[in-house]
Amino acid sequence: MSLAGQRALRFIAPALFAALLLAPRPAPAHPHAWIDMQADVKFDEAGRMQALGVSWEFDEFYSAFATEGLKMEKGTFLPADLSALARENLANLKDWHYFTEIEQSGQKLALGEPHDALMTYDAKAGRLKLRFILPLAKPASPAGNAPVSFRIYDPTYYISIDYAKDKPVTLDQNNSRDCDVETSMPDGQSIWAKLPESAFSGPGANELGKNFAATTVLTCP
């Protein structure tokens, strides 16, 4: 396996390992990696939601771990290596639905294949950033009685994915229907206090992250 492939496997393997680790008995759980996220809702010409533009900025510790051994030139990594890392990460996230859950009227909407993946490196901050477009298999038309909601989270909560403070969710220029977006952020301290013991062991550990996921609701006139 290529070096980039090995690095990419590190993105998803810890989540699987965490689930196994938590399964035998109740144990304290907390994230081991952090992502600052931004999402851009994309519309088609008919004003339907057709995709999410997702941006993940990884913490500096994970970024150093993921790029260990990669060649650096002029203060950054080679574009070819970063591109390969982006492709491998998304390939390994496919079975996890790219950590993304989109729903309408209580039903999960099918996702398409991500495209336009781009991995960049901020040398000053020492952080990797992954951007990609995640389309819906079929465009969805949000309405007052049938809004579209989405959550982006690691089910095992090995990785904490939280919205960035600056422009966490935006709507692209095709928002011709003057749609409204509202995001509710969970209160982490309150959630920890209320979680039952079953959330940390057995099947519950595989859905721990859902408790801490922000929910965004899109409604159009």
- DSSP string for residues in 169-209: EEE-TT-TT--EEEEE---HHHHHHH--GGGGSGGGGGGGG
User: pTM higher than 0.85 for the full model?
Assistant: no
Q: Which pLDDT value is given to residue 26?
A: 37
Q: Which pLDDT value is given to residue 125?
A: 95
Computed over every residue of the chain, the mean pLDDT equals 83
Q: How many whole angstroms separate alpha carbon 33 and alpha carbon 61?
A: 8
Q: Which pLDDT value is given to residue 144?
A: 80
Return the CATH number of the domain spanning residue range 3-19+30-219: 2.70.170
If DSSP codes are grouped into helix, strand and coil, which group holds residue 18?
Answer: helix
Q: Which pLDDT value is given to residue 202?
A: 65
Q: Which pLDDT value is given to residue 4?
A: 46
Q: Which pLDDT value is given to residue 115?
A: 96
Residue 195: what are its φ and ψ, rounded to 5°? -65, 135
Q: Which pLDDT value is given to residue 178?
A: 81
Which residue ranges of the chain lie beneath pLDDT 70? 1-29, 176-177, 187-189, 191-206
Residues in a beta bridge with 122: 127
Residues in Cβ contact with 23 at an 8 Å cutoff, skipping those fewer than 6 apart: 201, 202, 205
Q: Are 58 and 35 in contact (CB under 8 A)?
A: yes
